[in-house]
Structure formats: C-alpha cells, structure tokens
Chains A and B, each alone.
Chain A
C-alpha cells in the first residue's frame, strides 16, 4: 500500500475507539427504569425479534433486582449483551416505545439491558439456568455465530449434547469479528460464548466443516445438524484492478480492527469504501479513527436508497466522511501493482426495480478519477453455495437456505438452519431469535423420531 497513514499514539487510539454509549451508573439506571410506564402487552416487546419481556426486566432494574432482570432478558435472548450494544434500537424496541407517541424520548432500553447483563457478567455469571438431565441425543451446530450459539444454549438446557463447529480461531461469529469497537468489545461477545459453554456446550474452534470435519462425519455423530454458517466472503466488484495491493474486503478489515491491535492495522491516507450499507459505515469510521486523512464512501445510488441506518449515516457524517452518491467504481488504477486511483462513473436514477428501489444508470462519458491509497469493498457478501452443495437434498434459493419458517427445518429433515444464511443478512437479534426458535424445531423433530 502507498502512503500508509501515520500511526497514532496509544491514547489517541483509545480515545477514537472509546465506547459511544457509556454504561449507566446505578443511579442513572434506576432513574431511567422508573421512567418506564410498565406498559401491558408492550409494543417494545413486540418489536423485539426475540420478544424480551422488556417492561418486566426494566421494572426489576427499578426495584434493584438486577439478577432477576438479567434472567428475564436471557430467558428470551442468549445474545443479550451484543444485542444491547449493537441492535438498531431506534428501529426496534426503542422505536416502538409509547413515549414516541407522546412526543417524548423513548426509554433507553438498550442501555438498560446492557446495565443488567453487564451486572450479570460482572458478577461472575451467577447460575440462573440449569440444564435438564441428559436425554442422550446429540446435535451438531455449524458456526458459532449468534444463531448457532443461541440454538446450542437452548438445546443444551433441554438436555441435548451439543457440539459447535467453528472455522475461526474464536467463537462468536460477527459478534466477535464484525462489530465496531466503539459499539462493543469482542470480549463482550466472548462472555456470551462462555455463558453458552457453561451449559455444557462444546465449542470446537478452528474446525471448518467440509475441511477439518466432513459432512458425513457430522451426520454420523449427531441426530440433527443446525446450519448457522452466515454469509461468505465479500462480493467482488468485478472491475479491473480488484487484485491490486491496497484493495481489501470490509469484513476482513473490520475483523482486524476488532482485535483492538490498532497499531498493527495499516490504513491508507486516502481511503475509498465502496458500498452504502451499515458495514460500509463501519469501515469508513474505523478507517478514519485509525488515522486515515481522507475517507470517502462511493455509492451508486442516492442517500434515500442507502441501506445504512440514519444513525449510522450521522455517525459517519460526524466523523467527517465524504459521501460520493450516484457514483460507481469503474476501475481501480495502480502502478507497480499498488493502488493509486479509483476511476468512477457518475450515475443517475432510473425506474424502480422489483423491490421498488430505483435502478442506477451510468451517465456516459462522466468518468472521473479519485486518488486513493486504499479501496475497501463493502457491497455485500457472497453466498456459500459451494458449502451447501455438499449437503444432500438441501434446497437453496438465491444463495439462501430454504426453511420451514416455524420449525426452521430445511428440505433435508436432519438439517435445520437460521441466521444470515437463511435471511440473507439481518441483525444479530434476528440470528439470536432464529437460533432459539430452531432449537425448539429440532427438539420437536428428535422427540417425534
């Protein structure tokens, strides 16, 4: 890479990556909890994909029954700490809070949930749940992301012998490797892994299914298998210059930042991130906070079509990120195999596509070049078709595993699936909900065998 941005001091890194939402003090938590109206059949609970009984857990914070509060939360969601910190609460629970209808600030549900779960981990995970006696059945879980962990925890408590197979060196999936450090630390995710392990779940890391262990072995070892493999590598831009030194994949870049070894992550002085999703926002803000001088987003549609949440967009704006809307990359230009420039095309919005989003069309002759030392690809992830093709009779549609939505059973009865590999990429909380729901589908399947 040309022009590597100068490294910052340790203090600057800590400041740049400090948590945006600080934890509540006990006094703040009690005050905020007391503000809750304790709604009945509450809209916040309905808005949460895991349907946490939010008024009850908040009431328990108000009465200083924090242990009880943590239990109420965890009963519905095994990934409660990550969700508390990384959920888009504005569009979920807090967005549904009745205070919005009264023109007042919603209850800070995410921060209250974090308060209870921080307490729980901070107090050495007191025993709240005891697994049932072993039922002699075993389930293999592929992927230790939120869906897999939630499924494993729920099954273990029902008495199943559960083994999770994870290709990476640490469990947690994107909760560990893909969340911006100013939202949460990977250590939070590892705490959740520990909680799941405390139920007797065996997690085998560095064990990629299809490589270190075959599908046949998996089937031989387990009564049922849960696929929580998420999505694949970053999609290619399919433009010339993609293999130049200085071009990288957003998730890979974010994964390196997540380790908190800030100094070891090289970043160019001028960084261009291609894409307009929440991952693209993470990539630009992290690049900026690592010391990049000029960071920009290249997005082929306009602000209105950009999939990133409003609060993510605002975060990037406040970090001084430049947005090139209606701009598509045409080729990456390098010298001596190293990125130097990005050539782009101006776009205009044409008629809407099947989903109602207007299709961008290139404006002929509008090419222009932007100097860049680093180009980060963030236009989505590939699907794992190669992996799925190893499983007999597994129905896959547009890269997504087909499931019965109630039981999460796939077209191959011994296989169940949930999370991003089924929904195409949603929030952690959706994966957590899927995993838990699937556990009950698996239980039903094995019990009826």
Chain B
C-alpha cells in the first residue's frame, strides 16, 4: 500500500503536492477549494509591505499551437492588507488541521520588520514559513525578494533574524537568477533554515508584439522584466535541485518548484532530491482539479516500482549524475530504425544530414524514401531518435559489449601530456572509433 504522506522538516502533509506561493494561494476561498480537491499543502501568497499591482500582469509563450509552455508574471506580493490575510490563514488552518499551511513572507531588510512579521504570522497557527528570497521583479527593486537571494550574506543574515523568533520550521525560497545557487543555499543553512524551496521564477521578457512593437505583457505601452514559470523552466529547476541536493554543505530537505505539471514531473523531482513539490502554473492553466492525476498517477507509478513511501525513492537518481569527465567514452551507441514502423516523414534524414553526422541515407523503396542508418558512420548522438514522431521507431542500440570503460578523467592520466590530436586519434582508432 503506497503512502504518499511526507514529513518535511517537521511539516507533515498527506501528500507531497503543495500549491506554491502564487496567485492560486491568494485567499481563503482558493486555499479551501484546493484542499477540498485534495492538495496536501499550500504556501500562502507572500505577505509583505504595502504594494499595488498593475492590471495586466501575465505573459505566456505558446509553442506549435500548445498554450502556455511558459508563463511569466509581474504580479507582486499580496495586495490585500496583512490583517485580512492573517485572519484567513488562521481560519484555514483550523479547518484543515491535516494539511500543510505554510506562509510566504517578505519584509523590509530590517530586523524589527522581520521579527514583527514572523511573530504575527506564527500566531495564525501555520505549520511553517517560507522566506521569499526569489521574486525577480518589482520587489527586488525595493531591496527584497531576489535582491536578497542573490547576496548570500543577506540570505544568512535575514534567515538568522527569522530564526531568532520563529517557533515553526523556516524554509528559504531561492532564485535561479544567480551563477551558483549553492551559495545562497549554504547561506540559508548557515542562517538556520530548516528547508529550501527552489526554484523561484526566471528573469524574462516574454516577447514583443510585432504589430505594436511593445513588449509583453504590456501595461499602457510599457513592459517590465518578469518571472518565468511553467513547463519551460522544469529542466532548470531539475538542475538546481540536483545541484543543491548533493552539496554536503547544504544538506537540507528540498521543496521542488518549477514547471511541475504532471505526476511524471513530480516523480522526476523527487528522484533528484525533492521531498515536497510545489505547483503553480499548471493550476493557473487548468485549475486545482489537476491534483487528482498528480496523486493518482504518482501512486500507480510507485506501486508499479514497489516504492511504498516518498522516502523510498527520494534522491534515487542523484547517483546517476556525475561530471562530464566521468562519463564512459567507450559506451558506443548507434541509431536503429525499425523500417516496419517508419512512416517516411524523413525528419531523421534531414536532421542528421543538416545538423549531425550525415549518416542516414534515403533509399528508394516501393516508391517511397526509406531512411537507413550507415552504422559505421553513426556517432550515436540520438538527434534522429529525438526528432522521430513515431514511438519506438528509432532506438539507440548499444554496440560495445560493456566490458571496456574509459572516462576523460582517466584517459588524460594515461595519454602523454600535453595532449595532442594524434594521441587521441590513436586511442579512438584502437577502440574502433573513427571520427571523420
């Protein structure tokens, strides 16, 4: 029997699916509705200083007819008074004792401001607080959000202030708009954080209206950079999470955020080290009801894989990440086309011919062109496999026997230094690799 419940740094929730601090968690009405649909937790939309939003605030990137591959926003923190939010949070927590209610906070960079905000928040009975060091727009210009997340010293300083008065677990939400996300992560740990949420949105200009020449989203003719979210940023989030998860100087539970749309995404985030999962864009696109398949799909997959709990597979794929220098240079693969499945779109041919290694020929066959791989010239790059629109038509087949392995790091120890093309070439030919 699969158990989806989690314990995130002491915060318990019946499943790992939390709503991220964002428009879907703006009010008691929304969070209550989300919990009725089965969400395990919610990070309340950031409480902060008084702000005012502009009207038009979202931009999206569509691709080949698919809507919202990415969604950006220039919305700020909550635009409702603090008292209203605190009252609603108190009410929600009373009504939903088994769900994780976490409150996102952002304050002026003064100790008193943070102390005041944290104390009043804890009085709601919430399960945890999340420090918003991530918003890249609007608030950062006022010295908050990403302006904190981009300076490790500020991260640790403010986290310390919060830790001084917080009686509940403190999560720190990090911005990806930084060269090395491990630095603010380490700083948060140093400041006393109990967990991390990553990633926040990515700096972005969503596009230009080529009729009006205005940037999108446009507010009375002007636009501003905003935060990109949604499926487009998932690979960036996976990288950031895995990078932080394996850092021994961090060693904190991670709430994964960034483009999680389906249970498959959720499984990937957990395999790379996330404990809980935060979702926003998918809900903004389809509503709270998506949690049904998130829970159901993840449960079915776990049953199939014989994982009983989230902990059973958390971080299980981290060991599969290594540096390039540790990859086996002698693992030879080639593309194989199943001609019975081929529909003769010839996309593999043109991709290989124009952008890879010119090893897929077009053979006239029964009045059609049959793409066929010249195995001796295939470098196994997998571009054809990626462009093929038919499932299982092109497969990447391993050709070596798996007996030999040589990594770059080991190779350079063996070859004479300084390294020359000639010595590398000799190594390649010895192993039947002929690059031409």
**A residues apposed to B, CB below 8 Å:** 30-31, 33-35, 37-43, 62, 98-99, 101-102
Interface of chain A, main secondary structure: helix
Q: Given the complex, which residues of A lie within 8 Å of B369, measured CB to CB?
A: 41
Instruction: Select from chain A the residue with minimum beta-carbon distance to B346.
Output: A40
Q: What are 13 pairs between A and B in contact, CB < 8 Å?
A: A31-B65, A33-B65, A34-B65, A35-B65, A37-B347, A37-B389, A38-B347, A39-B344, A41-B362, A98-B345, A101-B343, A102-B343, A102-B389
Instruction: Evaluate contact between B345 and A40: CB separation under 8 angstroms.
Output: yes
Closest residue on chain B to residue A31 by CB atoms:
B65
B contact residues, total (Cβ < 8 Å): 15
Distance of A146 Cα from B299 Cα, bound (Å)? 63
Contacts of B368 in A (CB 8 A): 43
CB-based contact B346/A39 at 8 Å: yes
Which residues of chain B are within 8 angstroms of A62 by Cβ–Cβ distance? 64-65
Tell me which of A34, A40, A43, A101 has the highest count of chain B C-beta atoms within 10 A of its own C-beta.
A40
Contact with A along B339-365 (1 / 0, CB 8 A): 000111111011000000000001000
The 5 residue pairs across chains A and B that have the minimum distance between CB atoms? A34-B65, A40-B350, A101-B343, A39-B345, A98-B343
Q: B255-277 interface mask toward A, CB cutoff 8 Å, 1 = contact, 0 = none?
A: 00000000000000000000000
Within 8 Å of chain A (Cβ to Cβ): is B390?
yes
Whether A34 contacts B64 in the complex (CB less than 8 A), given A41-B362, A102-B390, comes out as yes
- A42 to B362 Cα, complex, angstroms: 12
Contact B347 A40 (CB under 8 A): yes
Contacts of A102 on B, CB cut-off 8 Å? 343, 389-390
User: Of all chain A residues, which has the CB nearest B347?
Assistant: A40
Contact residues of B: prevailing secondary structure: loop
State the B residues within 8 Å of A (CB).
64-65, 342-347, 349-350, 362, 368-369, 389-390
Partner of A101, one of B64, B65, B344, B362: B344
Pick the residue among B65, B343, B344, B390 that contacts A30 (CB under 8 A).
Answer: B65
Nearest opposing residue in chain A for B367, CB measure: A46
Scoring B65, B343, B368, B369 by chain A CB atoms within 10 A of each residue's CB, the highest score goes to B343
For residue A39, which residues in chain B have a CB less than 8 angstroms away from its CB?
344-347
Contacts of A34 in B (CB 8 A): 64-65
**Known: A99-B343, A101-B344. Contact between A40 and B65, CB under 8 A?**
no
Cα of A173 to Cα of B368 in the assembled complex, Å: 35
Distance to closest chain B CB from A98 (angstroms) = 4
In the complex, what's the smallest C-beta–C-beta distance from A20 to chain B, in angstroms? 26
**Chain A residues within 8 Å of B343, by CB:** 98-99, 101-102
The residue of chain A having its C-beta at the shortest distance from the C-beta of B66 within the complex is: A34
Bound-complex Cα distance A99 to B390 (A): 10
Give the Cβ gap from A64 to chain B, nearest Cβ, in Å. 10
Q: Tell me the bound Cα distance from A43 to B362 in angstroms.
A: 13
How far apart are the CA atoms of A37 and B346 in the complex, in Å?
Answer: 10
Cα(A99)–Cα(B344), bound, Å: 10
Min CB distance, A249 to chain B, in Å?
39
CA distance A41 to B371 in the complex (A): 11
* CA of A35 to CA of B346, assembled, Å: 16
Contact pick for B344, options A33, A35, A38, A98, CB 8 Å: A98
Cα distance A101–B338 in the bound complex, in angstroms: 14
Task: Tell me, rounded to whole Å, the shortest Cβ–Cβ distance linking A368 to chain B.
Answer: 46
**Given contacts A34-B64, A34-B65, A102-B390, A41 and B346 within 8 Å (CB-CB):** yes
CA distance in complex: A400, B41 (Å)? 80
By a CB distance below 8 angstroms, the chain A residues around B65 are 30-31, 33-35, 62
CB distance from A345 to the nearest CB of B (A): 42
The CA-CA distance from A40 to B346 in the complex, in Å, is 5
Residue of B nearest to A102 (CB): B343
Alpha-carbon distance between A43 and B64 when the two chains are bound, in angstroms:
22
Nearest to A63 among chain B residues (CB) is: B64
A366 to B362, CA, bound (A): 58
Contact in complex: A40, B349 (CB < 8 Å): yes
B390 closest partner in A (C-beta): A102
A37 touching B345, Cβ below 8 Å: yes
B residues less than 8 Å from A40 (CB atoms) = 345-347, 349-350
